[in-house]
């Protein structure tokens, strides 16, 4: 139907209702607005791996570094908000820059990084050493406000069952507009990750199943589905010598609050529209076992609403070194790293380090957004 014909029909309708000219114009404008709104459709994208399996927690960004959102447990982002080109990134897959209009059925296929860490010989030493390279992003209302990257040396004392950290201020590099903010967030990221490595993937899963009232269902081909009484909460995939776990931890936590009658905690999380998801990837042996020292990479996504808007925090971490040490070797390692990284690294130095360790480069849109942060 042509525009003129639409206007004529609407005019007749308003005349039939006995409306005056001004009222008719209001009806026409309102009706045209409704037509425009209903004709605009949300642009949905679906992200899958080369086997066609959904990839949750894929960050989708515009060319200026605005975070459009992350894919859900079915690998879907419901709307790219009119963006013509987007960057898609995930800790375990090769990043891509894609033209939305050219996507067949809105589907994006991502290739695995084929990222691996060297084999190590098991030795009866009291410390398990895991050194990672991390990236931390903070968004407010989908705009990047803070970025930090660097090196995290952590060791787990098997005898004392305690995590020991390297020197935070000297053994990491970062890039940020504020030194105070950088030190605060850097410390929080390192403490979080240090706590993360103290359990093997298998132990973490077994504890979580009971703690969060979940069940595991075998779907075949090394895939298990994580469910709770409210539905599917994630997947555990064991293939290619790796085991990856992706779960909607926020929903699990809130269901636990509900099941235990923790009404205040639940209400607070509901009010702030709390969300938290993560993916962990560990190496596994021929029997499917993995230990603390076998962590390959992980990513964690948090979201909540505060007075300034919607906050979104993303952490990515890749293992770059690992081994078994005694106390003297651990002290020597900390000293070595302190000397090697005694000054804050530039963004270029951080990217050189990442390339050296086969860690994927930042998406161009994110890198540009980071560079703009440094100019503020």
90 forms beta bridges with 93
User: DSSP code of 54?
Assistant: B
User: Would you say the C-alpha torsion 118, 49, 350, 142 has a positive or negative sign?
Assistant: negative
CA dist., res. 211 & res. 215, Å (int): 11
User: Would you say the C-alpha torsion 68, 72, 78, 83 has a positive or negative sign?
Assistant: positive
CA dist., res. 195 & res. 19, Å (int): 70
CA dihedral 99, 134, 357, 196 (to 10 degrees): -120
* Degrees to nearest 5, angle at CA 226 with 220 and 231: 115
Which run of H or E residues covers position 231? strand 231-239
What does the block give as tokens for 301?
């996504």
β-pairing verdict for 215-220 and 223-228: antiparallel
CA dist., res. 145 & res. 176, Å (int): 9
* pLDDT averaged over 10-residue windows placed end to end, the chain, 376 residues: 40 43 51 45 88 93 91 94 93 91 93 82 82 86 87 82 63 48 53 50 64 88 89 88 89 93 96 93 79 83 91 89 91 84 78 89 88 75
CB 46 within 8 A of CB 351: no
Distances from the Cα of 238 to the Cα of 6, 19, 202, 288, 314, angstroms: 58, 68, 12, 8, 24
What does the block give as tokens for 239?
């293939």
């Amino acid at each position: 139907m042509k525009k003129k014909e639409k206007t004529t029909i609407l005019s007749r309708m308003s005349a039939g209702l006995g409306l005056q000219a001004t009222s008719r114009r209001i009806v026409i404008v309102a009706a045209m607005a409704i037509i425009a709104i209903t004709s605009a459709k949300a642009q949905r994208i679906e992200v899958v791996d080369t086997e066609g399996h959904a990839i949750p927690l894929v960050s989708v960004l515009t060319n200026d570094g605005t975070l459009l959102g992350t894919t859900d447990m079915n690998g879907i982002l419901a709307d790219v908000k009119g963006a013509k080109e987007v960057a898609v990134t995930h800790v375990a897959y090769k990043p891509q820059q894609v033209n939305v209009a050219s996507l067949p059925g809105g589907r994006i296929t991502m290739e695995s990084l084929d990222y691996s860490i060297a084999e190590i010989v098991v030795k009866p030493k009291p410390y398990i050493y895991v050194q990672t390279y991390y990236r931390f992003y903070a968004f407010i209302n989908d705009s990047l406000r803070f970025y930090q990257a660097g090196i995290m040396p952590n060791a787990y004392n098997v005898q004392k069952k305690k995590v020991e950290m390297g020197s935070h201020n000297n053994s990491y590099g970062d890039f940020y507009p504020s030194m105070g903010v950088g030190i605060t967030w850097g410390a929080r990221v390192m403490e979080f990750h240090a706590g993360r490595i103290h359990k093997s993937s298998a132990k973490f899963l077994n504890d979580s199943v009971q703690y969060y009232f979940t069940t595991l269902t075998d779907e075949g081909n090394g895939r298990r589905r994580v469910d709770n009484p409210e539905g599917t909460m994630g997947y555990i995939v064991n293939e290619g010598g790796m085991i990856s776990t992706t779960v909607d931890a926020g929903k699990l936590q809130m269901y636990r609050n509900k099941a235990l009658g923790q009404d205040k905690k639940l209400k607070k999380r509901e009010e702030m529209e709390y969300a938290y998801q993560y993916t962990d990837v560990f190496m596994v042996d021929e029997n499917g076992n993995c230990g603390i020292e076998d962590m390959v990479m992980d990513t964690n996504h948090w979201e909540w609403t505060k007075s300034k808007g919607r906050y979104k925090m993303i952490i990515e971490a890749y293992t770059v070194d690992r081994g078994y040490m005694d106390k003297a070797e651990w002290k020597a390692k900390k000293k070595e790293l302190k000397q090697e990284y005694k000054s804050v690294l530039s963004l270029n130095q951080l990217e050189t380090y990442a390339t050296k360790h086969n860690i994927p480069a930042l998406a161009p849109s994110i890198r540009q957004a980071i560079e703009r942060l440094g100019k503020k």
